[in-house]
Structure 1
């Protein structure tokens, strides 16, 4: 192994992780003139297990980044979320959405950061560099070589896997909040049959849900998710009994469009699973010289499993805090205040998560929404983040379904 003290060129900000959070943070900082080094252990264009849905918060974030038009040129636009209950009832909730595989989306976001002036290096985060308790850079691994880079700030945007968080002393929960299993199916003959983001609840899928999202070029993203997949026992995480592959098989068996898709289509690659981190919990957000953002900070919504938009939003919050405050403590306080302001919204989605455990609630809401434009409008408001999702499935919300 080479001399471990070899140095990479210093940066004002070192961003670890070139997913939506890291690339969004890097682009905002680089556009403001800061020297940004963005690193990822994978080469550009790496795959990421995800539903690939871009809901309104993702559109808003992409618009601020100046990348919305470019993303939409490649994405599959979608105008509705189809909510399907255990008894087959369906309601289509309108919204501005799209689907683009993460391989393409993340490559576009990374290129956007580089176009703004950020440098990119393929490297894996090993540990922070510290001086008197303050992070002043990081130790990285490139091939078989250990290198060091000095930076005024280090941003951890390393996703749901807790290894980097643990190495940085920021991990508070090693187990994930949820898990997902996703595959791509090529089925051009289904393009006119499945046109919405279809989300399916069924007793056979409990405690999870299934989805089919239409992607570009006659492809479909099909998968299942389980929120609240692990539990803590005496401080140690333990996986619950849910088997993702069994839930996926039940989805295909019990939902005819999924069965038809798998029957007539061609599975592209393997089904892939991934952990999820929800509700802005499970990690410390900051320490002197270091900020945790994106899914590493828990930026994915419980209940829906949507996380791309909020990952970009938290990455931009980190960039805004660093740009607004030269003082370390003031920047960290500003960032933490930004995440704290988002916390109630995440809590509401956590409350709505009861639908996954009690799918009959989906039947009830769907039945009422088909009869009440006001209820349908509230469901659309959940997509647009103008309605409280917890209210729809709370005791008070359920009673309102009958009396509106």
Structure 2
């Protein structure tokens, strides 16, 4: 993405609404607010078009969020449509779960979302968040930013949205971090392999003893590329408030995935790795950060918007951004208490869904559960519909792996 006209203009001294972070959450909020007539300044420490470590999968909640933003058609014009999630168990069994799915690298998706926010009227500047500005009562009234030339700049704002992702530095600086360690970690790379197009057609998710306590994936991306990676949820433990990483070596898990899963081995053998394998933390289950304080709200993965079971976070990141925007549009930035109350109520309404996905996360620790689900799904159209419902958020994922649910699966 070439330098936008916004970037050529000086950083303003004040704005009505300041959003820190131009990922899906920040750009979704910026677009909604700008469309509602709010003056929005969106800043990010990276120039537009930066890479983001992600699986790039757009599952139904992402499609719904994009439709609400008026961007689904534009995204799907660039994305690779996919019809199924391919669940592969440790014994090699497979079930293809239907869903409304697609893949678009985050570099392209985030650029499109940012452009859409700017088209709606939001301005963008490159700058790094250093600390909040506070009044005598402790209310956030703006931010101290580090400009690309190294200078510090203070900007005042009626409200600040923090959409800085899983890295806790900005959360800590803003006094919002409750857990410094991530919920999980992931490693991914891109492989160009036109000869594999049509052979890997689903969002393939692989559970195997070789990748315990995690999972591997291969997602077909546009233009003959594939997103391949491994993830581990619950990768860190908190001991007396101090985070400690478990014995997890992502590169070793990735190598084991490639060694034991034949399509991954062939993909890496015939394809060309584009760039390097890159790792990133995950923040899940809407935990690990305060959601708001006077003058500031935390949105997106900074608030823990990623699902622990699937590692999917794009749709929910946009959803949290839109929840914050809707609260601001409903009450105006002058009624801070009402804005924050509505936003937090929206997150609390989502929380039970995250807890169910956390229960379903036990599949990552006990891969044999996948074998059981796959075995029964081949015999039960009803179970396959329930698995599809998990993708569409119409079925309870926790029921699939509860003892009651397992008993029902075995005997239904």
Q: TM-score, normalised by structure 2?
A: 0.96
| SS of alignment partner, residue 176 of structure 2 | coil
Contact 1:279 1:298 in 2 (8 A): yes
The separation in 1 between residues aligned to 2:312 and 2:374, in whole angstroms, is: 20
Counterpart residue number, 1:160: 166
The structural deviation recorded for 1:133 is: 1.1
Contact 1:211 1:222 in 2 (8 A): yes
| SS of alignment partner, residue 217 of structure 1 | coil
**Deviation per CA, 1:120-149, whole angstroms, max 9, x where unpaired?**
000000000000211010000002110011
The separation in 2 between residues aligned to 1:86 and 1:378, in whole angstroms, is: 21
Counterpart residue number, 1:209: 215
Establish whether residue 186 from structure 1 lines up as the match of residue 192 from structure 2.
Answer: yes
Contact 1:8 1:147 in 2 (8 A): no
The structural deviation recorded for 1:325 is: 1.3
Counterpart residue number, 1:344: 352
The separation in 2 between residues aligned to 1:213 and 1:107, in whole angstroms, is: 20
The separation in 2 between residues aligned to 1:10 and 1:235, in whole angstroms, is: 37
Establish whether residue 252 from structure 1 lines up as the match of residue 258 from structure 2.
Answer: yes
The structural deviation recorded for 1:7 is: 6.8
Contact 2:11 2:125 in 1 (8 A): no
**Deviation per CA, 1:92-129, whole angstroms, max 9, x where unpaired?**
00000000000000000000100000000000000000
The separation in 1 between residues aligned to 2:89 and 2:129, in whole angstroms, is: 43
Counterpart residue number, 1:142: 147
Establish whether residue 59 from structure 1 lines up as the match of residue 63 from structure 2.
Answer: yes
Cα RMSD, aligned residues only? 0.8
The structural deviation recorded for 1:8 is: 2.1
Counterpart residue number, 1:379: 387
The separation in 2 between residues aligned to 1:145 and 1:110, in whole angstroms, is: 24
Counterpart residue number, 2:133: 129
| SS of alignment partner, residue 378 of structure 1 | helix
Contact 1:7 1:148 in 2 (8 A): no
The structural deviation recorded for 1:233 is: 0.9
| SS of alignment partner, residue 347 of structure 2 | helix
| SS of alignment partner, residue 222 of structure 2 | coil
**Deviation per CA, 1:317-368, whole angstroms, max 9, x where unpaired?**
0000111113100110000000000000000000001000000000000100
The separation in 1 between residues aligned to 2:217 and 2:61, in whole angstroms, is: 19
| SS of alignment partner, residue 77 of structure 2 | helix
Out of 284, 304, 321, the residue aligned to residue 310 of structure 2 is: 304
Counterpart residue number, 2:75: 71
Q: What stretches of structure 1 of length at least 5 have no aligned partner?
A: 1-5
The separation in 2 between residues aligned to 1:7 and 1:41, in whole angstroms, is: 14
Contact 1:45 1:107 in 2 (8 A): yes
Establish whether residue 199 from structure 1 lines up as the match of residue 209 from structure 2.
Answer: no
Q: What stretches of structure 2 of length at least 5 have no aligned partner?
A: 1-9
Establish whether residue 47 from structure 1 lines up as the match of residue 51 from structure 2.
Answer: yes
The separation in 1 between residues aligned to 2:178 and 2:13, in whole angstroms, is: 32
The structural deviation recorded for 1:76 is: 0.1
Counterpart residue number, 1:32: 36
Contact 1:128 1:138 in 2 (8 A): yes
Contact 2:26 2:300 in 1 (8 A): yes
| Structure 1 segments of 4+ aligned residues over 4 angstroms from their partners | none
Counterpart residue number, 2:398: 390
| SS of alignment partner, residue 283 of structure 1 | coil
Contact 1:160 1:296 in 2 (8 A): yes
The structural deviation recorded for 1:9 is: 3.6
**Deviation per CA, 1:188-236, whole angstroms, max 9, x where unpaired?**
0000100000000001110000000000000000000000000011110
Establish whether residue 355 from structure 1 lines up as the match of residue 355 from structure 2.
Answer: no
The structural deviation recorded for 1:402 is: 1.5
